[in-house]
Amino acid sequence: MDSQVEQTPHEKHVFPPSPEFRDAAVAGPDLYAAASTDRVGFWADQARELLHWHTPFSRTLDWTNPPVAKWFDDGELNVAYNCLDRHVESGNGERIALYWEGEPGDSRAITYAELTADVKRAANVLTELGVEAGDRVAIYLPMIPEAIVAMLAVARLGAAHSVVFGGFSADSLRARIDDAGAKLVITADGGWRKGKVSALKPAVDAALEPRGDLPAQDTVTNVLVVRRGENEVGWVEGRDIWWHDAMAAAEPEHQPLAFPAENPLFILYTSGTTGKPKGILHTSGGYLTQVAFTHRNVFDLRPESDVYWCTADVGWVTGHSYVAYGPLANGATQVLYEGTPDTPHSGRWWEIIEKYRVTILYTAPTAIRSFMKLGRQIPERFDLSSLRLLGSVGEPINPEAWLWYRHVIGADRTPIVDTWWQTETGAIMISALPGVTEAKPGSAQVPLPGISVDVVDDAGTSVGQGDGLLVVTEPWPSMLRGIWGDEERFRETYWSTFGDRYFAGDGARIDEDGDIWLLGRVDDVMNVSGHRLSTAEIESALVAHHFTAEAAVVGASDDTTGQAVVAFVIIKESQKADAEATDVAAELRSHVAKQIGAIARPRDIYVVAELPKTRSGKIMRRLLRDLAEGREIGDTTTLADTQVMRIIGDKVVR
Ligand code: WTA
């Protein structure tokens, strides 16, 4: 096994819930009992309790044709109605849905009634532009309320959105627009980042430029542009429309239609082991059931009094499930913050918590580790006493960061939930239930009620206790329904290893208490600051540069970001003279940022003469990782040329 994250379950710290927390907790041990008696019936109960069905379902799960799952498939619902109108109809229209904080310090408080009104208008705008059920709409926006409005308006019409993270390049955006065949793109002039306006519209213009090779310019008929940055933008007459003009002109009323539970809700692209990102497809009823269930029980949510804040961008799955859909389906009040944690000062997050009296904070270990580095004196300057629950997601949280989070941010009082899940799983799968489970730093712990997982060896046999590969053994409501346009890749990636058990791609360990520890990816996917990046995708960006003959990329462990991108490149003979006259590393780093996006920019680039390969020509990344992490080189006996590591090793100086 090739796990990338070293972690030992060292001294046994456990943190039982306080009696006060336990007595008042939303979740109780009865959930585990109910789910273990009748797993499928348990999910049917959750779906009925948590959601409004326009047409009640009579069938809960159809798993007769794995890996194609259908949940609640004769039921009908409207996802946006569930997130908006019904809260207004039940008398909670005046409750704040979003406390939005712009990076420069401007802010807006938006009630459920206001958000519902905006989404109705936006749905009418989209209808006017020809968007219908089944269409795809690309969304490329900063963290502003319009991002949520746009997602829900698309959902309200039974169309599917494809949100593309604003940090992705024009090329990445174009590839996603093409793959999904989007009809419309919703973007902004720009958004605030690190104290200045970062433009977005130019990337959309570049992505839609006719180039002959890809069809984006044919499918996209309009671009809706939100005004946020107030930066100058180019304008294509007839194609581009200001959001505020269209909204002002739109009809205010809109009746939501009911759509089948299995109607597509969104496509979200994520990195896989090949260079091409996968469009993970999620549908409506099962997805919304599990995000609402987990958001309520894992975060101990009391919608009438909590102020919840998930720091993820809507461009990632965490932003879909735990900013857009989960909190709104549950009628929660939440904070949405546009900018970076250190602008204009490094206490910005804590200032926001103090300002809005945030009670539940959900963030990533990489953020916690950066705050740890800066020191506790920064959060200590703010009043964080409103916090009562902390969550972690995206990568393994090392026990040191867990303990710091609990001690410094949670005043030794708050439970911490370490939540394991993926873009593909749609919602949280493994986590403690606060008030029920004792928390153990570093371990994501136990599958949630209604979820069945196992840790198996390469042959698929349960390890019982010990290390192996994580699988999900039974279908779950929010599971991916496919890879957009690539059924074969869907079967191959997740279902060809262990039959009808889902292979997650993560290594895991089960300890003596039966708790699960996640050990990192076992495939060629890296996890940098909680973002998934593919080694193959970065390698192909690198070889697209005229300097590069060959490239190999590895994820090397990094104190702050979990892993960091480290690239080894061989320069073409014919380019050597040019390359020597340039700062090759800087040139290639910015080339990757331009091709994929700044998040993929390698931390280190090493120019080497050779790459270590097996006799069959496969690059031995394990050895490169040893080098990048400054370790003793492991076993080299399977190399075609056993001298090569010595040659490379001599060159690599950090
Ligand atoms: C990793 C993010 C350990 C894991 C929601 C998974 C985690 C990948 C945890 C999915 C956790 C996520 N502990 N590892 N609590 N949460 N991961 O699709 O490797 O961006 O496969 O979804 O992140 O990343 P994705």
In tens, the pLDDT along 612-627 reads: 888 878 888 888 998 8
Q: Which amino acid is at 431?
A: S
- What is the rounded distance in angstroms from the CA atom of residue 181 to the CA atom of residue 372? 43
**Other C-beta atoms lying within 10 Å of the C-beta of residue 124:** 21
E strands, 177-304, are 184-188, 190-193, 196-199, 222-226, 240-242, 259-260, 264-270, 278-283
Q: Which atom of ligand 1 is nearest to the CA of 518?
A: 3
Every domain of the chain and the residues it spans: 19-507, 529-651
Q: Tell which residue, 298, 303, 301, 324, has the closest CA to residue 313.
A: 324
**503: CA distance to ligand 1 center in Å?**
14
pLDDT recorded at residue 12? 61
Q: Which atom of ligand 1 is nearest to the CA of 431?
A: 15
**531: CA distance to ligand 1 center in Å?**
8
Residue 504 has pLDDT above 60, yes or no: yes
Thinking of the domain 529-651, which architecture would CATH place it in? 2-Layer Sandwich (3.30)
Burial-class residue 148 by CB neighbours within 10 Å (0-12, 13-18, 19+).
buried
pLDDT recorded at residue 654? 45
Q: Lowest mean pLDDT: which of 9-23, 215-229, 276-290, 396-410?
A: 9-23
Alpha helices in 265-393 (DSSP H): 285-298, 317-319, 326-329, 348-356, 365-374
Query: Residue with structure tokens 């890296």?
Result: 526
Q: Is residue 458 part of an annotated ligand binding site? A: no
pLDDT recorded at residue 1? 35
pTM over the 0.90 mark: yes
> Mean pLDDT throughout 346-368?
97
Sign of CA dihedral 92, 93, 98, 101: negative
- What is the rounded distance in angstroms from the CA atom of residue 133 to the CA atom of residue 509? 43
More confident residue, 362 or 638: 362
Give bridge partners of residue 614 from the DSSP assignment. Answer: 639
In tens, the pLDDT along 532-587 reads: 999 999 999 999 999 999 999 999 999 999 999 999 999 999 999 999 999 999 99
Residue 347 has pLDDT above 70, yes or no: yes
- What is the rounded distance in angstroms from the CA atom of residue 424 to the CA atom of residue 427? 8
What CATH number belongs to 19-507? 3.40.50.12780
**Other C-beta atoms lying within 10 Å of the C-beta of residue 56:** 12
User: pLDDT-based confidence at 212, cuts 50/70/90?
Assistant: low
Q: Is residue 465 part of an annotated ligand binding site? A: no
Q: Tell which residue, 344, 335, 340, 409, has the closest CA to residue 379.
A: 409
Residue 35 has pLDDT above 70, yes or no: yes
> Mean pLDDT throughout 192-219?
86
What percentage of residues in the chain have a pLDDT greater than 70?
96
pLDDT recorded at residue 213? 61
Q: Are 602 and 641 within 8 A, CB to CB?
A: no
> Mean pLDDT throughout 305-319?
98
User: pLDDT-based confidence at 182, cuts 50/70/90?
Assistant: very high
| Residue whose CB lies within 8 A of the most ligand 1 atoms, among 532, 534, 563, for a mutation test | 532
Query: Which protein residue has the closest C-alpha to ligand 1 atom 25?
Result: 422
- What is the rounded distance in angstroms from the CA atom of residue 71 to the CA atom of residue 283? 9
- What is the rounded distance in angstroms from the CA atom of residue 613 to the CA atom of residue 636? 10
Number of residues written out for the chain: 654
**530: CA distance to ligand 1 center in Å?**
7
| Residue whose CB lies within 8 A of the most ligand 1 atoms, among 390, 402, 527, for a mutation test | 527
Q: Tell which residue, 191, 187, 193, 192, has the closest CA to residue 206.
A: 187
Burial-class residue 210 by CB neighbours within 10 Å (0-12, 13-18, 19+).
exposed
User: pLDDT-based confidence at 267, cuts 50/70/90?
Assistant: very high
Does the CB atom of residue 562 touch ligand 1 within 6 A?
no
Q: Is residue 196 part of an annotated ligand binding site? A: yes
Residue 216 has pLDDT above 70, yes or no: no
More confident residue, 6 or 144: 144
**364: CA distance to ligand 1 center in Å?**
10
Q: Are 89 and 116 within 8 A, CB to CB?
A: no
pLDDT recorded at residue 615? 84
Q: Is residue 501 part of an annotated ligand binding site? A: no
More confident residue, 319 or 214: 319
More confident residue, 226 or 218: 226
**437: CA distance to ligand 1 center in Å?**
21
**602: CA distance to ligand 1 center in Å?**
21
Query: Which protein residue has the closest C-alpha to ligand 1 atom 1?
Result: 395
Which residues lie closer than 8 Å to 567 by C-beta, 6 or more apart?
538, 539, 542, 551, 552, 553, 588, 592, 602, 604, 605, 606
More confident residue, 289 or 276: 289
- What is the rounded distance in angstroms from the CA atom of residue 33 to the CA atom of residue 587? 58
More confident residue, 142 or 654: 142
Q: Are 325 and 291 within 8 A, CB to CB?
A: yes
- What is the rounded distance in angstroms from the CA atom of residue 526 to the CA atom of residue 543? 19
Q: Are 599 and 560 within 8 A, CB to CB?
A: no
pLDDT recorded at residue 336? 98
pLDDT recorded at residue 401? 96
SS3 call for 270: strand
Residue 160 corresponds to which tokens in the numbers above?
């599917």
**Packing angle, helices 535-543 and 584-595, rounded to 10:** 120
Q: Which amino acid is at 190?
A: G
Mean pLDDT (the chain, rounded): 94
SS3 call for 2: coil
**589: CA distance to ligand 1 center in Å?**
25
How many degrees, rounded to 5, is the angle at CA 237 between CA 234 and CA 239? 95
Does the CB atom of residue 555 touch ligand 1 within 6 A?
no
What percentage of residues in the chain have a pLDDT greater than 90?
87
pLDDT recorded at residue 652? 62
**What does each C-alpha distance from 140 to 33, 101, 161, 223, 366 come to in angstroms?**
43, 19, 10, 10, 24
> Mean pLDDT throughout 638-645?
79
